[in-house]
């Protein structure tokens, strides 16, 4: 090998033709300047070397360094990344950062981190600081080192943008004349300082805690569109007008059809909607109203001897269509529950009678208090005739009342103002049953996946911000679940409902996935939570070659499993690009 004049060496490949034949030479050359001109010096002929070895020499001259066989890499940091990539990638594909604010900012990144973290692991804001640091979420959004004070500030920043975000979601998912589903739930509050916290009817079965109520508006498919907080003692119907105002004034929607349950859209509230105009409704009648229809002859129970659906009208409900349904399976279940409650109540009354006979209860007032405890627990007093006196207590079933209630078992009446040319009878029933999708959203919000409850914030605006963060996380989850349906215990394409009265059948594929825990292509099927756990095992690693310092470190993503790769393909996200 010729002695090089400089250290600027490189490998070149030269192609030449001589005598009709083509020759290839690989040379090691040196470049140098002499008398103001750049000249080349051939140091060695590498043509006889194997191509892989030539590439190693070429790479070394470019600055690449290689480890000897048996040397290893050091992984100095390994962070869960797959679940971050899935949720954050979906948020970006849905345009959520732009909905929060058109201009990038640290506040926007922090707010987005709060929303994504709610799906990764719903914990307190203080614990979210640790979550940002112990996953790739902080690095992906550039918010490493954020503390809890910054996160609280981001909550305030996000709340100020709630009206605009919800209006954008309404433009995306709702249109004039659309079906809008609405329901209300509550969650209990820890502490005593929040101005929204009030004692009221607890859906969490925590009457010992004040609560906050929140209403959820969704589109016809159950996709969340807006959320609003109310004091914990607000009656369900009292929240309806606020939602109608939001749909009209903030979202600019007209001729909408509001779908709500019978506790929400009461007759009094429907009369207010009728007076306001421009709002149709689909709801259901309470049991006393159904009893009046039967007593007044507008509804004949004999109609359902051979059918389970009939449409009627009644002068008590002018301008409305009443679609009457009878579900035998529901009738059997209500009869079973009533029999159990009757038996349980009788056993409790028998214990009270024994206490009276032993002289432990003597006055009528004391006996009545004890009987009242049974009545309040079982709520079956309407089916018993009670005789309470001084040192006496007797009870017996009110068979006539029981028969009257049993006659209506399985019977429900859907009421609507929508004309038949827009919603046929079967479609009216189907529309009302769509409320189950809102209930499903509430289960996700209040369950372990999003953990909206309990609320620990003391300020009303912080409670509203907390609910809005959980709402946006539910919006992301709704789209993720829809995309991941092939991997989850759910229908990819729910079968058409043949009979609107009976429950919708599940598809054969969904039943097979749930039974075998395996998808059609042999992957492990599971719940949303188990899939998120699986994705979290896909890590991003900081690797340092042995013998070198941190300056030589590089990022290396673990190779996705088949299930992880399928999950990312379904949402159109590349984990390495997030």
Over residues 49-103, the pLDDT tens digits come to 888 888 888 888 887 766 665 567 788 899 999 999 999 999 999 999 999 999 9
Mean pLDDT of 215-220: 94
Instruction: Tell me, yes or no, whether 71 lies in a domain.
Output: no
The 3-state DSSP class for residue 352 equals: helix
Widest CA span in the chain: 130
Give 255's pLDDT tier (boundaries 50, 70, 90).
confident
Does residue 301 surpass a pLDDT of 80?
yes
Instruction: Tell me, yes or no, whether 67 lies in a domain.
Output: no
Question: Do 401 and 470 fall within a single domain?
Answer: no
Question: Do 345 and 388 fall within a single domain?
Answer: yes
Q: How far is CA 286 from CA 37, 185, 322, 329, in A?
A: 99, 19, 13, 19
Instruction: Report the CATH number that the domain containing residue 457 is assigned in CATH.
Output: 3.90.350.10
Q: What is the 8-class DSSP label of residue 204? A: T
Question: Do 323 and 333 fall within a single domain?
Answer: no
∠ at Cα 575 (573, 578), nearest 5°?
85
Element of type H or E holding 322: strand 321-326
Q: Among the ranges 157-171, 195-209, 389-403, 500-514, which has the highest mean pLDDT value?
A: 157-171
Query: Distance between CA atoms of 67 and 64, rounded to whole angstroms?
Result: 10
Question: Do 110 and 225 fall within a single domain?
Answer: no
Does residue 444 surpass a pLDDT of 70?
yes
Given this model, what pLDDT does residue 1 score? 57
And the tokens for 309? 């659906």
Question: Do 570 and 488 fall within a single domain?
Answer: yes
Query: Distance between CA atoms of 55 and 47, rounded to whole angstroms?
Result: 12
Question: Do 430 and 386 fall within a single domain?
Answer: no
Q: In sequence order, what are the residues at sequence separation of 6 or more whose Cβ sits closer than 8 angstroms to the Cβ of residue 201?
A: 186
Instruction: Tell me, yes or no, whether 29 lies in a domain.
Output: yes
Query: Distance between CA atoms of 223 and 240, rounded to whole angstroms?
Result: 19
Instruction: Tell me, yes or no, whether 127 lies in a domain.
Output: yes
Question: Do 297 and 388 fall within a single domain?
Answer: no
Question: Do 176 and 232 fall within a single domain?
Answer: yes
Give 3's pLDDT tier (boundaries 50, 70, 90).
low
Q: What's the total number of domains in the chain?
A: 5
Give 452's pLDDT tier (boundaries 50, 70, 90).
confident
Given this model, what pLDDT does residue 154 score? 96
Does residue 462 surpass a pLDDT of 90?
yes
What confidence tens digit (pLDDT) does each residue in 114-165 have?
999 999 999 888 899 999 999 999 999 999 999 999 999 999 999 999 999 9
Instruction: Tell me, yes or no, whether 3 lies in a domain.
Output: no
Of 99, 130, 160, the one marking the end of a domain is 160
Given this model, what pLDDT does residue 30 score? 85
Taking each helix axis as running N to C, give the angle between helix 162-173 and helix 148-160, from 0 to 180 degrees, rounded to the nearest 10. 60
Phi-psi region at 426: left, alpha or beta (left = phi > 0; alpha = psi -120 to 50):
alpha
Does residue 299 surpass a pLDDT of 80?
yes
Given this model, what pLDDT does residue 454 score? 82
Given this model, what pLDDT does residue 333 score? 93
Instruction: Tell me, yes or no, whether 73 lies in a domain.
Output: no
Between 5 and 473, the more confident residue is: 473
In terms of DSSP bridges, do strands 179-188 and 21-34 run parallel, antiparallel, or are they unpaired?
A: unpaired
State the CB neighbour count (10 A cutoff) for residue 318: 8
Residue 251 forms beta bridges with which residues?
none
Give strand ranges (E) for 432-575. 539-545, 554-557
- End-to-end alpha-carbon separation of the chain, Å? 49
Instruction: Tell me, yes or no, whether 66 lies in a domain.
Output: no
Between 393 and 35, the more confident residue is: 393
- The share of the chain scoring above pLDDT 90, in percent, equals 59
Q: Using the structure block, give the residue that is written with the tokens 């954050």.
A: 88
Q: In sequence order, what are the residues at sequence separation of 6 or more whose Cβ sits closer than 8 angstroms to the Cβ of residue 427?
A: 500
Question: Do 276 and 173 fall within a single domain?
Answer: yes
Q: How far is CA 399 from CA 339, 385, 403, in A?
A: 12, 10, 6
**Which pTM does this prediction carry?**
0.83
Question: Do 181 and 136 fall within a single domain?
Answer: no
Taking each helix axis as running N to C, give the angle between helix 562-571 and helix 460-483, from 0 to 180 degrees, rounded to the nearest 10. 110
Burial class (CB in 10 A: 0-12, 13-18, 19+), 198: middle
Query: Distance between CA atoms of 321 and 343, rounded to whole angstroms?
Result: 39
Instruction: Tell me, yes or no, whether 74 lies in a domain.
Output: no
Mean pLDDT of 295-302: 90
Does residue 287 surpass a pLDDT of 60?
yes
345: containing domain: 329-406
Average pLDDT taken over every residue of the chain: 90
Of 367, 388, 406, the one marking the end of a domain is 406
Given this model, what pLDDT does residue 68 score? 65
And the tokens for 523? 């992957």
Q: In sequence order, what are the residues at sequence separation of 6 or more whose Cβ sits closer than 8 angstroms to the Cβ of residue 283?
A: 259, 260, 261, 262, 264, 265, 270, 414, 415, 416, 432
* Half-sphere exposure at residue 325, Cβ-oriented, CA atoms within 13 angstroms: 23
Q: What is the 8-class DSSP label of residue 39? A: E
Q: What is the 8-class DSSP label of residue 550? A: G
Given this model, what pLDDT does residue 276 score? 81
Mean pLDDT of 203-221: 91
Does residue 481 surpass a pLDDT of 90?
yes
Average the pLDDT over each of 39-53, 148-162, 166-180 and give the range with the smallest value.
Answer: 39-53
Question: Do 378 and 460 fall within a single domain?
Answer: no
DSSP 141-177: HT-TT--HHHHHHHHHHHHHTHHHHHHHHHHHH--TT
Given this model, what pLDDT does residue 429 score? 93
Of 114, 130, 160, the one marking the end of a domain is 160
Element of type H or E holding 31: strand 21-34
Given this model, what pLDDT does residue 5 score? 67
Q: In sequence order, what are the residues at sequence separation of 6 or more whose Cβ sits closer than 8 angstroms to the Cβ of residue 393?
A: 349, 352, 353, 356, 361, 367, 371, 386, 387
Average the pLDDT over each of 201-215, 313-327, 546-560 and give the range with the smallest value.
Answer: 546-560
Question: Do 178 and 315 fall within a single domain?
Answer: yes
The 3-state DSSP class for residue 361 equals: coil
Does residue 393 surpass a pLDDT of 80?
yes
And the tokens for 541? 């690693």
Query: Distance between CA atoms of 283 and 262, rounded to whole angstroms?
Result: 6
Give 37's pLDDT tier (boundaries 50, 70, 90).
confident
């Amino acid at each position: 090998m010729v002695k090089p004049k400089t250290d600027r060496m490189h490998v070149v490949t030269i192609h030449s033709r001589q005598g009709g034949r083509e020759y290839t030479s690989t040379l090691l050359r040196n470049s140098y300047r002499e008398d103001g001109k750049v000249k080349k010096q051939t140091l060695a002929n590498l043509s006889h070397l194997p191509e892989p070895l030539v590439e190693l020499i070429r790479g070394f001259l470019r600055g690449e360094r290689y480890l000897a066989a048996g040397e290893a890499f050091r992984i100095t940091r390994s962070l869960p990344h797959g679940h971050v990539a899935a949720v954050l990638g979906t948020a970006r594909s849905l345009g959520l950062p732009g909905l929060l604010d058109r201009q990038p900012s640290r506040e926007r990144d922090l707010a987005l981190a709060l929303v994504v973290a709610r799906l990764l692991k719903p914990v307190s804001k203080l614990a979210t600081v640790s979550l940002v640091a112990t996953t790739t979420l902080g690095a992906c959004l550039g918010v490493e080192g954020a503390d809890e004070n910054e996160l609280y500030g981001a909550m305030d920043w996000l709340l100020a943008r709630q009206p605009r975000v919800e209006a954008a979601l309404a433009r995306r998912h709702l249109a004039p004349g659309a079906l809008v589903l609405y329901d209300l739930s509550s969650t209990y509050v820890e502490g005593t300082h929040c101005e929204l916290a009030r004692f009221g009817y607890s859906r969490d079965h925590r009457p010992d805690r004040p609560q906050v109520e929140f209403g959820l508006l969704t589109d016809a498919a159950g996709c969340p569109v807006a959320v609003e907080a109310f004091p914990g003692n607000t009656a369900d119907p009292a929240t309806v007008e606020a939602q109608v105002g939001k749909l009209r004034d903030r979202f600019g929607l007209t001729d909408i059809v509001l779908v709500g349950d019978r506790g929400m859209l009461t007759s009094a509230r429907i009369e207010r909607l009728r007076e306001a105009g421009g709002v149709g409704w689909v709801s259901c009648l309470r049991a006393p109203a159904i009893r009046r229809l039967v007593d007044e002859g507008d509804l004949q129970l004999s109609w359902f001897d051979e059918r389970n659906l009939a449409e009627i009208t009644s002068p008590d409900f002018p301008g409305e269509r009443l679609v009457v349904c009878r579900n035998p399976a529901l009738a059997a279940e209500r009869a079973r529950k009533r029999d159990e409650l009757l038996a349980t109540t009788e056993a409790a009354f028998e214990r009270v009678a024994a206490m009276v006979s032993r002289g432990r209860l003597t006055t009528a007032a004391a006996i009545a208090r004890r009987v009242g405890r049974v009545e309040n627990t079982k709520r079956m007093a309407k089916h018993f005739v009670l005789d309470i006196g001084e040192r006496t207590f007797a009870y017996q079933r009110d068979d006539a009342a029981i028969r009257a209630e049993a006659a209506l078992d399985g019977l429900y009446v859907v009421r609507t103002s929508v004309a038949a040319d827009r919603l046929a009878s079967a479609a009216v029933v189907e529309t009302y049953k769509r409320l189950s999708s809102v209930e499903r959203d509430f289960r996700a919000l209040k369950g372990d996946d999003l953990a909206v409850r309990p609320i620990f914030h003391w300020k009303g605006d912080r409670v509203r911000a907390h609910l809005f963060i959980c709402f946006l996380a539910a919006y992301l989850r709704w789209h993720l679940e829809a995309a991941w349906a092939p991997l989850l215990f759910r229908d990819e394409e729910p079968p058409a409902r043949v009979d609107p009265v009976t429950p919708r059948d599940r598809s054969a594929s969904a039943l097979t996935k749930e039974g075998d825990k395996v998808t059609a292509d042999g992957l492990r099927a599971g719940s949303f939570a188990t899939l998120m756990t699986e994705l979290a095992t896909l890590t991003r690693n900081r690797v340092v070659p042995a013998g070198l310092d941190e300056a030589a470190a590089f990022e290396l993503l673990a190779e996705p499993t088949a299930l992880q790769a399928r999950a990312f393909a379904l949402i159109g996200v590349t984990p390495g690009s997030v």
